[in-house]
Every structure is written in structure tokens, then in C-alpha cells.
């Protein structure tokens, strides 16, 4: 990804470093990621980029503090996600993991936890350098249906406090505390 950044200062921004580290760790651990950030996707779909030579770094590191990515659980198993999170922890990042009982198995009296969301940031960064947070939603394929399911993002007081230190509020996630479904 570095080759797409035009300016050396962009390559050293905390946002770019975090995004590059997360995408590299995901690749190394077999976790395919895709962009779900509605603001960035609207720039791309509307063709409102300032020029043809707009770098990926300028697009992704646009001064915002939060970037939304996602993965599909059928392509990134619990083992892949665990290794991915551990790789990032080993690099010094803080990972908030959100899991819930699989609602498709509860009625069979199986209590199986499934991953729903990961939130990644660097607590050790000087906040004057404009910290950045990456939110990864894990979409679950509902085989008998024609949709993907996303579990709720339920932040507790400690999670909110950690995110507040990074300049992130609950409303920055632009998603409800409820589950959601998306057409395939």
C-alpha cells in the first residue's frame, strides 16, 4: 500500500500506519477485509475525488478518526480472527472484541459464541498526532436465507471510556445497538 501514498508525511500518519498494519495482519492471517465506510464509498461512487492522482492514503486518511471495514465469517473463521487479533496485540495495538451467542443455534440449546465486531487502536499514541480507530464488522452468512447478518455493537462503559480517549463517541459508529440484515 505504501506505493500509493504520494507524500512521506501521509505515510507516517497514525491513520495510515494503523490501516496498513491492520490490512497487512489481515492478509497474513487469511482474513479478507473490504471497505464498508459509507463516507469513503460515497466519494468513490459519486466520483467526487479531487483528482485522478488522489492517493489511497489521502482517501483513507482524510482527517477522520474512524474507518469501517468488514469481513465475511465464512471466509475468516474464529481461528483466523483470533490469530489476526493476537498478531495486532503482539504489535502493541488494543483490540476490543465483541462476541455473542449464535442466534441460529440458541433454539437448539447450543450456546456457541461467534465474533461480531473488532475495534482496533493504539492506546500508546500521542493523541496530539490524531489517533485513528479501525472498526471491523464480521458479517455472518445465513445459509437458509438470502442475506448477511450483523450482530449488535454493544459497547460497555469501559469500551466507551477507551474510545473516548481516542476521540471517538458512540455516535461515530453510525450503527444501532441492534442486529441488522443485508441482502446478498
Q: How far is CA 15 from CA 122, 167, 177, in A?
A: 10, 13, 26
| Phi, psi at 134, each rounded to 5° | -110, 130
Question: For 137-146, b where at least 16 C-beta lie within 10 A, e where not — what string?
Answer: bbbbeeeeee
Mean of pLDDT values over 160-180 = 87
| pLDDT value, residue 89 | 98
pLDDT tens, 2-32?
344 444 445 577 888 899 999 999 999 999 9
Q: Alpha helices of the chain — where are they, by DSSP H? A: 8-11, 14-28, 38-46, 56-60, 78-90, 103-106, 157-165
Whole-prediction pTM:
0.84
Question: Which structural domain range is residue 123 located in?
Answer: 2-183
| pLDDT value, residue 47 | 63
Q: Which of 20, 9, 38 is nearest to 132 (CA)?
A: 20
The total number of residues shown for the chain amounts to 184
Q: Which of 152, 70, 173 is nearest to 103 (CA)?
A: 152
Number of domains forming the structure of the chain: 1
Q: The C-alpha cell of 156 is what? A: 460497555
For residue 149, the cross-strand partners are 140, 181
Mean of pLDDT values over 37-60 = 60
The residues near 50 (Cβ < 8 Å, ≥ 6 apart) are none
Percent residues over pLDDT 90 in the chain: 46
Residue 129 pLDDT greater than 90, yes or no: no
Report for 13-17, 34-38, 160-164: range of highest mean pLDDT: 160-164
Amino acid at each position: 500500500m505504501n506505493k500509493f501514498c504520494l507524500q512521506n508525511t501521509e505515510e507516517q500518519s497514525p491513520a495510515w500506519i494503523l490501516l496498513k498494519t491492520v490490512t497487512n495482519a489481515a492478509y497474513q492471517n487469511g482474513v479478507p477485509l473490504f471497505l464498508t465506510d459509507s463516507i469513503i464509498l460515497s466519494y468513490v461512487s459519486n466520483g467526487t475525488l479531487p483528482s485522478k492522482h488522489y492517493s489511497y492514503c489521502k482517501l483513507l486518511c482524510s482527517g477522520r478518526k474512524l474507518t469501517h471495514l468488514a469481513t465475511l465469517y465464512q471466509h475468516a473463521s474464529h481461528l483466523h480472527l483470533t490469530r489476526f487479533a493476537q498478531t495486532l496485540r503482539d504489535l502493541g495495538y488494543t483490540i476490543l472484541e465483541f462476541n455473542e451467542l449464535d442466534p441460529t443455534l440458541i433454539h437448539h440449546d447450543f450456546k456457541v459464541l461467534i465474533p461480531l465486531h473488532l475495534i482496533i487502536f493504539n492506546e500508546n499514541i500521542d493523541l496530539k498526532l490524531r489517533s485513528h480507530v479501525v472498526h471491523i464488522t464480521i458479517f455472518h452468512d445465513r445459509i437458509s436465507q438470502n442475506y448477511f447478518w450483523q450482530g449488535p455493537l454493544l459497547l460497555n462503559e469501559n469500551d466507551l471510556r477507551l474510545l473516548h480517549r481516542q476521540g471517538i463517541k458512540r455516535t461515530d459508529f453510525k450503527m444501532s445497538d441492534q442486529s441488522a440484515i443485508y441482502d446478498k
